[in-house]
Amino acid sequence: MKKWVVVLVFLVISSLLFAAAMAETQEKEIQTLVFYRLSAASHDAYCLPLMQAFMEENPDIVIEDVVVTSGGYEALASKVLLANAAGTPPDVAMTGYSLIKTMVESGNAVELTPFMAKDPKFDAKGLFPAMVDLGKFDGKQYLIPLGTSTPIMLLNKDLFTQVGLDPANPPKSWAEAEAAAQKLKNAGYQGILWGWSVTGNWIFQTMIENAGGKLATADSKTVMFDEEPGLRTMTYLQDQVKKGLMPVTDQTLATFATGKLGMLIDSSYQRVNTPSMVNFSVILAPVPTPTGADPLVPAGGNGVMMFAQDPKKQEAAWRFIRFLTEETASFIVGEKSGYTPANQNVIEQLKLKYADDKNFAIALSQAAKVIPWHAWPGENGVKINKIIRDMQESILLLKETPQAGLARAAAEVRALL
């Protein structure tokens, strides 16, 4: 009789333990993270492996991605803001560095500092401080960097050699870039294309900062892009157009891919996909500056922010965000995209692994010394970027003088601020 009692007790305990385990498994299985992100062939190349690797390491979390296929970071931010306003925010969202203020001031962004502080698995010291700082607003961490790019010059090595230019000694100053463009034009080719349309203001900020100016003060209370460095920048660009050295188009990569353009100022993000889509050799070089000095490079790229409001969702979202800083994810980003990850150890390993790849070396070296990409505050940040983009297009199409265009755009931005 006692044996049956023991067996019965054992069966009851086993059933309870099994039921508890099943309940725990079921509880974990329902953790689905909604992740808003950009989607294009170049973004899918690293985002899809990232999500797959995370779910393999964390079988209790499923990532459901919602993608934006056009319009860049501004369109993605608008989608997130609309979801927030509708009361259905994503749990996590990819965000361009220049839009962090807009996203935080929308009211739904979750501060990450407390998660970082209490998680012993998070290695803040292993990340490049300059990149981590890109995700701060008012001294608080709201974004963890996923990948960072920098403005860079892409050279068509074959064209340079053909017209008698030295691809191993690329132009360093604005004057040298103009001279090289003139030589390319004289040989029947297009000279240079400064990627003015890239995210609206990124290359514009690069040129202004290297000319000694700013888009605005750090708090954005004083607009500055219409001052002398901005006028110098837009006058130089308009002159390139007037002299027939620069085409006016927002189809920058497609223009370069024709093989008839010698120089393109774009993003180091193109390190991977552009050489693979063209039939000529591509060399990366620092962006030319007014004097030929080493360029200041605003950080491009993106990070991930948390918008989940439920504590359980927040815990799962933080695990995904932390994963993006670790070696597995960092190698995926570093090798499958043109972005540089923030993990310092991975960067050092990539330098050794790809020591013979000069294009990779310059991208890695620049990303370690980035300066902030100016983030406009408030809900009008996306509109402001468009105003600056449209102003550049108007000046380059010779519809306005540089002085008039800058003054008009600055007045419109001040009104929004």
Q: How far apart are CA 285 and CA 172, in angstroms?
A: 9
Give per-residue burial for 232-243: e unless 16+ CB within 10 Å, then b: bbbebbbebbee
Q: How far apart are CA 131 and CA 250, in angstroms?
A: 28
Q: Give the strand pairing for 300-306 and 143-149.
A: antiparallel
Tokens standing for 275? 């050489």
Whats the size of the chain, residue-wise?
417
Which residues, 6 or more positions from 411, have their beta carbon under 8 angstroms from its beta carbon?
A: none
Give per-residue burial for 303-320: e unless 16+ CB within 10 Å, then b: bbbbbbeeeebbebbbbb
pLDDT for position 173 = 98
Identify the H or E element spanning 261.
strand 261-267
Cα atoms found within 13 Å of the Cα of residue 194, Cβ hemisphere only: 29
> Hey, which bits of 76-203 come out as E strands?
92-96, 136-137, 140-141, 143-149, 151-156, 190-194
Could you report the average pLDDT of every consecutive run of 10 residues in the chain (417 residues)? 46 48 51 95 93 96 95 90 93 93 88 96 90 91 94 97 96 98 98 91 95 94 97 98 97 95 94 87 96 94 95 96 96 92 92 90 84 83 90 98 98 94
Residues carrying CATH 3.40.190.10, the chain: 32-149+300-367, 151-296+380-416
Tokens standing for 173? 């100053």
Tell me which amino acid residue 202 is.
W
Q: How far apart are CA 221 and CA 395, in angstroms?
A: 25
Which residues, 6 or more positions from 255, have their beta carbon under 8 angstroms from its beta carbon?
A: 190, 193, 247, 249, 261, 264
- CATH code, residues 32-149+300-367: 3.40.190.10
Contact status, residue 196 vs residue 249, Cβ threshold 8 Å? no
At the topology level, CATH places domain 151-296+380-416 in D-Maltodextrin-Binding Protein; domain 2 (3.40.190)
Q: Looking at the DSSP assignment, which residues form a beta bridge with residue 32?
A: 62
Q: Give the strand pairing for 31-38 and 61-68.
A: parallel
Residue 67 Ramachandran class (φ > 0 left, ψ -120 to 50 alpha, else beta): beta
Q: Count H helices, E strands: the chain?
A: 18, 11
Q: Which residue has the tokens 């552009």?
A: 274
Integer CA distances (angstroms), 293 to 52, 171, 172, 205, 265, in order: 43, 11, 7, 16, 16
Q: Is the dihedral of CA 40, 41, 46, 52 positive or negative?
A: positive
The pair phi, psi for residue 13, each rounded to 5°, is: -65, -45
